[in-house]
Every structure is written in C-alpha cells, then in structure tokens.
Chains A and B, each alone.
Chain A
Amino acid sequence: MATRTAVVGDKERRRPMERARQATLVRHLTVALVAGLVLYVVSNALSAFDNLQLATMAYSFTAVAGLTVLTGLNGQVSLGHGAFMCIGAYATAKLLGEGTDHLPLALVLLLAALITAVGGVLAGAAAARLRGPYLAGATLALAVGLPTIADRFPTFLGASNGLTVIPSTPPASLGATFPLERWQAWITCLGALIVYVLLANLMRSRYGRAFRAVRDDEVAAELAGLHVARVQVLAFVVSAACAGLGGGLFVVVTQLAAPGAFALTLSVALLAAVVLGGLGSLWGAALGSAAIVLIPQWSDDLSKSLSLSSNVQANLALAVYGALLIGVMLAAPRGLAGAFDWVHQQVRRASTRREEEEQA
C-alpha cells in the first residue's frame, strides 16, 4: 500500500484521514454484524448447557480483550484483572438489588463499567509508577486482596456468602419456553461485540498508537510529546472498564457475586487467555477466551470417559491447562494470532517469490 510521504497541506491531509477513520469504523461494525449473525444462528442450535458455555466465553472475552490491550498494546503486565471483574460484578449485584425492580439491565451494566473505570483510574495511577516485576507483584496483591473487602462489610457486601440476584428473564415476546441460557448468551454476546467494536477502533486510533509508543520506548514517547503516565492510566482505565463489564455479565449469567469467584485463578486464567490467543490481538482474545472455557471442559469429559481414579479425574483439567500454558509459551510464544500471522506471512512470501521467479 503506497503512502504519500511528501509534505501536504492541512486540509488535504485531513480528507484522506477522515475517510480512513470512517472506513475503519465501518469495517469493524461489519465484522461485528457478521459475527453477531453467526452467534445468533449458533446459539439457536445449541443446547442449554452449551449456551451457558457460550455466555461464559462471551463475558470472558470482554475482560480478556481489555487485558490484551493493556498488556499487548501498552506493555503493562497486570495479574489483577480479576479484581476489576470483582468490582464490576459487585456493582452490578448491588444495582440489581434483591428483587426484580431495578434500572434497565443495559444501564446497570454501563454504570458497573463506569464504577470499575474509577477503580481503574486509582489502580492505573498507582501502577504508572511501577515497572516490570513490581507491577506484577502489586497487581497480584490487588487480585488477592480486593475480593476480601466483601468480608469486611458482611451486611452490605454479603461476606463470603456473596450477593445473589434474580436472573434477568427473557421478555415475553420471545415465548414462554425460551430457555434462560440462550437469553443469557444473547446478552453476553452483545456485550462482547460492543466491546470488540470499541476496542478495535481504539487500537487503530491515535490512542492506540500512543499506547504502542509508550510500550516500545518510554523516553522517545515522552520526547515526542506524549504524557507517559497519562497514557498508561488511560490504558488501565479502558481495560478495567472492559473487565468491569465482564464482571457485570458474569453476574447476569451466574446470578451470584461472591469473593470465591474472583480468586487468583481467575486473574491467571485471563492472562493465560491473552497469551494463548496472542498479545494485542482482539480475535486472539476471542480464541483465548474460548480456550479457557473449553479446555477444562474437554479435559473433564476426557477424564470421565477414561474412568480414571477420582484423584486424577479431579485434577486432569488443571494439569492440561498448566501444561498447555508452558507448552504454548515454549513453542509458540506469540500465541494463536502469532501462529496465524506466521502462516499468512509464509503464504505471502511464497507467492511473492513465485512472482519474482516468473518475472525473472
């Protein structure tokens, strides 16, 4: 794709850029629409349990996508995104309250994401001063420490018992026998698609470029006029808001917000999904989210069908998960997205070489 590198006047520069921006938005919306249609068709064909799995993948995607932007694009390793899901989940649970009389679900989820964004500002401001292992250690403490706030306010936050909400039932227009799980899959998939469009646009925008610049060379970015700390806080806020939405959708699916859901294993799973899918890649985030839901499921089914001893059965999914993380990092550190890219490059290289040979 040739680009004009000659100096051009402001007006002339603005027109093609506007066109480019609109094209990006249209492109992403189209992808989202197509994906949405596919998901609609698929969810109608799935059983109740598989719809539940789909919903789980969808809310995981919102959190994983945010994290991949933070870690892949902006270079900040966060072990604590489970804590942001926790904030979003509890906010949603409190806003939905005990009965059915509450704000519309969409508004509740938006508020939950905003509340989590505030948390993201605080965490981001603290994180901006930290680098590498110190950031990892601090976010680890966040992941483990934050859920315990619920124990401190047992009446308000339900302690380890947690807060329960009544499930959002499908509207009457869909029929009386419309399965709850499919409705939940629709809500969560819609959330996931919205997050996809927003993040995809963000990544292609000037903010996305700022994120990458700060990741690659802080000093150069500072010299180029970027306020490094502000960029890093922004990245944190965006990813936290996405995780908060994920937490809210989690409550929609499980009807429960309890500290036990947000243990360290959740933060590890989110990071694993980011890495398995490929750092900084949104559809890698989708594949990674699918992986962290399906792999334990498949290992579980495998161990049941092999009728292994109960000890082995209970732990096989975890063992596969751990081995997979190690294996992928050793063999394909750029994850599935990286693997696809490599294949794509090889194909292009092969076709270019063939063209050159033909010309020669």
Chain B
Amino acid sequence: MTRTTRLPAAVLAAAALAFGVAACGSDNGGGSSGGGGGASAPGITKTQVTVGGHFPLTGPAAPGYSEIPRAIDAYFQHVNAQGGINGRKLKMITRDDGYNPTNTVKVTKQLVLQDKVFAILGGLGTPTHTKVVDFLNASRVPDLFVSSGCLCWDEPDKHPWTFGWQTDYKVEGKILGQYIADHYKGKKVAYFLQNDDFGTDGAAGLDQYVPKASVVTRQTYEPGNTDIGPQMAKIKASGAEVIASFSIPAYTALVTLAGVKLDYHPQLVVSNVGADPTTLTGLLKAFSKGKAPASLIDGVRSAYYLPSGDDTSNPWIAQFKMIHDKYIPKLPWDGNVLYGEALAFTFAEALAQAGQNPTRQGIVDVLESGKVKGPGLVPFRYSKDSHAGFTGEAQSVIKDGKLVEEGKALQTDDGSGDITPTDFDPGQPPANMIPAGSD
C-alpha cells in the first residue's frame, strides 16, 4: 500500500495553519504571559473585576470543599446586586482540578493565560497549590487567600504575590496540642496525618505541646486511596485513646467509620478543615442506621477562626446566612459556605481599599499595610514581613451536630511563641455587607 508523501505533508501543514488561524482568531494572539504594568491590569475593566481559582469539584476532596467557590460566587452576586465595589462588578471563574496537582498546573495556566484573570482567589489545597505558586509569582499575578493552612504561603521574599488566609496548620497544631496536653494528660495519643505539608505542618505544631512519650503511633494516608483499614488497625493496636487528625472531611469520616467497624471509640481531635459537622454528617448519613447520624461525630473536638455558623445571634453570621439563603439556598448552610463567603468578603475589603483604579501591585500593597480586618475571631497577620492570614483559633467541640466554640480565641505564631488569648473584635459588619472604600 503506497502512499505519496506529499499528501500527509500537505495535510499536516494545512492542519497546522488552520489551527494557527483559528487560534489567532479566538483571542488577541501574540501576547506575553501575564504580568502587570500598563494602565490597567488584565482582568480589570471600568465595570468588572475578574478573578479565578482552582477547586476540587470532583474527587476525594470534593465533599464540602466544592461548595466554597459557589459561596464566593454567591457573595459576589450579592455585591453586584448592590452596585459592586467602586462601580465594578465582581466575577469569579472556577476551574476544577479534582485535587490532582497536575490538573492544578493545567487549569491555573488556563486561568492566567487564557481567562486572563486579575488575581487568583482562594486556590484550594496544599499539595495542589504548591505546584503553581512559582508560576503565579513569576507571572506577577496576585495569589490571594490560598485555601490551605500551609506555612508555604507566608514567604514574602520568595513569593511576594502570595497570601494565605486561614490559620496556619502549625499554629492550629499548637492550639490543638495544648488542649490535648492539658485535658488528656497521661493518655496515649495517635497522629493520623495526610501525607503532605498539611500533615507535617500540623504534626510540627502538635509536637510542641503533646509530650513525646504520649505519642504512640503516627499514621499517614494518601488522598485518593480510601482503604485506611491498615492504618486504623495499627492505631487501635497501639492502644491510643486520642487521635489527633489532620485530615480532609472524607478521611475524618473514614476514620469514624473504621472506629465503628473495629468497635473502637477514641477521642478525635481534628483540624478545622476536616471537622465541619454538616459535611461529616452528610458523609456518614448512611451508616447511622436509625440513630441520628450526628451522634457518630458528637464530642469531636476542633478549633476555628470564624464564629460558628450555628451562632445566628452573631451579626456577621446572620448576614452571611442571609446571603446564602438568597443566592445558594440549595446548598447546606455549613462551614464551607461560611468559609467561602468570609474569604470573598475579605477580597472585597482589600479591593475597596485599593481605590478607584486598583492594580495588581495595589492590592498587594493594601494587604501588606495591614488595614484589612476581616470578619474573624482573630486579626490577620498581614504585613510587609508576613503574608500569613488569621493569627489563631478558638477551641471548639461538636455537640448535636453543631459547632460550639469555647472560651476566648487564642493567638500564637509559627515558631515557639506562647499561646495567648485575645479580645479581638471585628466590630459590626458594614452596611449591606459591602466593605467601605478608602477615602
């Protein structure tokens, strides 16, 4: 079977040309990758600001976390209904990465190079976002409020465009560790950690307070592999009465389930990212068999930096819940929705203070000035020397499927500093939940 070579070569050339022409036609072609400079930045016009983020809409991290971008969008819709920030409407582009770092690279490049967003907002995940932080900083794109508590977002010299938002896992580890050391003296403790910076940072914090001799075993899990039977069997065999867990919701649920299977009921102390009562109840619904599903997670301890979503007497919560009820009523009102709205609010606060003609550098300057207060129980740590977010958390426990906070909020640092209670008060929420601009 002979085939002339002119035909395939011609077809290849024609295809390449056609592709090139189509690509040129579809966007303005020939542009360089990202970068600020010029009168207006990409993603910002006189009437609109476009931001984007990568989130796990599918995959092992989807339970709970997939609601966050929708909550951000709901808050933006509320803001747009009131006229926007300094006359500009807010738009959020969400791209699914399935908690897979390779996809994160792909969709983030799409957001920056194709969608040309003004900033990345709330990029979710420790193992995922670490893969794009170099690219974003090299492209000089503001990388705001990463949805992760890794210490790696607080590196202003290496990554000047990246800012954290939620409390660092090391800070959280210290706060949870202090609780364990004070209230479970002498009891055996097991660590259950995600096999990445999320787990190691949390463990580093725990180790500062939990006596070394009490830690009888450290087990890790890979997100995506739902068989944690071997790890749980080892934990049970170690005789641990307390499990300190830095796990995402699906794995907190699996730990609880394994406990049921093995008839083993230790005290669970979980990082806030994996301790949302509504998400956990949803994941455990089918296993409660007649009993209220919430009872499976009663008594689980955690800590949190926002007021509890169940505390509707708090004016911030009341307002956030109202936005939820109006724009995303089909989603459950839970910690993830609250997280998304609070994060979006913080962005609006920073944007409002960036003035009438915000630029990418301008937003970064606003945050480093420390003027952004946020809606939390503790202040932010933002300054020229630190890009870390909330400075601490309040201890919490799950009672009857609700998150109940105890005592004053606690603050500490990433190093060996002490934990101190704080009287910080975010004040009353602004009118219509639209932050005031700078004057």
Contacts and interface: CB of A to CB of B under 8 A. Distances in A.
| A–B contact (CB under 8 angstroms) | yes
Interface of A: 1, 27-28, 30-31, 34-35, 38-39, 41-42, 45-50, 52-53, 151, 154, 159-162, 164, 177, 179-181, 254-256, 258, 260-261, 263, 282-283, 286-287, 290, 294, 310, 314, 340-341, 344
A161 B127 contact: yes
A340 B57 CA distance: 40
A180 B33 CA distance: 8
Given A35-B16, A290-B19, A47 B57 contact: no
Contacts of A160: 101, 127, 195-196, 222-224
Nearest to A181: B33
Given A160-B222, A260-B101, A38 B131 contact: no
A314 B103 CA distance: 13
B330 to A, nearest CB: 11
The secondary structure that dominates the B interface is: helix
Contacts of A1: 2
Contacts of A35: 9, 12-13, 16
Contacts of B130: 161
* 4 smallest beta-carbon distances between A and B, as pairs: A261-B102, A49-B113, A42-B20, A48-B33
Select the residue from A28, A42, A255, A286 with max chain B CB neighbours within 10 A: A42
13 contacts: A31-B5, A31-B8, A31-B9, A35-B9, A35-B13, A38-B16, A41-B20, A46-B29, A181-B33, A260-B101, A310-B70, A340-B11, A341-B3
B438 interface: no
B300 interface: no
B178 to A, nearest CB: 29
Contact of A49 (B24, B101, B114, B127): B114
Interface in B283-321: none
Contacts of B109: 49, 52
B29 A254 contact: no
A314 B11 CA distance: 33
B28 interface: yes
A42 B16 contact: yes
B7 interface: yes
B31 A34 contact: no
B110 to A, nearest CB: 7
B131 A164 contact: yes
B32 A48 contact: yes
B17 interface: yes
Interface string B78-116: 000000000000000010100011110110011001100
Interface residues of B, number: 50
Nearest to A1: B2
Contacts of A151: 195, 222
Contacts of B3: 341
A160 to B, nearest CB: 5
B260 interface: no
A41 B29 CA distance: 13
B23 interface: yes
A48 B9 contact: no
B223 A47 contact: no
Contact of A45 (B24, B110, B135): B24
A254 B114 contact: no
Nearest to A301: B26
Contacts of B17: 38, 42
Contacts of B105: 254-256
B5 A27 contact: yes
A179 B32 contact: yes
Select the residue from B20, B28, B134, B223 with max chain A CB neighbours within 10 A: B20
Given A1-B2, A35-B9, A164-B131, A45 B16 contact: no
A164 B130 CA distance: 10
A169 B322 CA distance: 50
A181 B101 contact: no
Select the residue from A162, A256, A260, A340 with max chain B CB neighbours within 10 A: A260
Contacts of A38: 12-13, 16-17
B23 A310 contact: no
Contact of B9 (A34, A53, A287, A290): A34
B58 interface: yes
B30 interface: yes
B101 A256 contact: yes
Nearest to A263: B100
A338 to B, nearest CB: 11
A310 B332 CA distance: 17
A165 to B, nearest CB: 10
A1 B31 CA distance: 51
Contacts of B100: 260-261, 263
Contacts of B439: none
A45 B8 contact: no
B15 interface: yes
Given A49-B109, A254-B102, A340-B7, A290 B15 contact: yes
Given A1-B2, A46-B20, A261-B100, 15 more contacts: A30-B5, A31-B9, A31-B12, A45-B24, A46-B29, A50-B23, A160-B101, A161-B101, A254-B105, A254-B106, A256-B102, A290-B15, A310-B57, A314-B58, A340-B7
A42 B32 contact: no
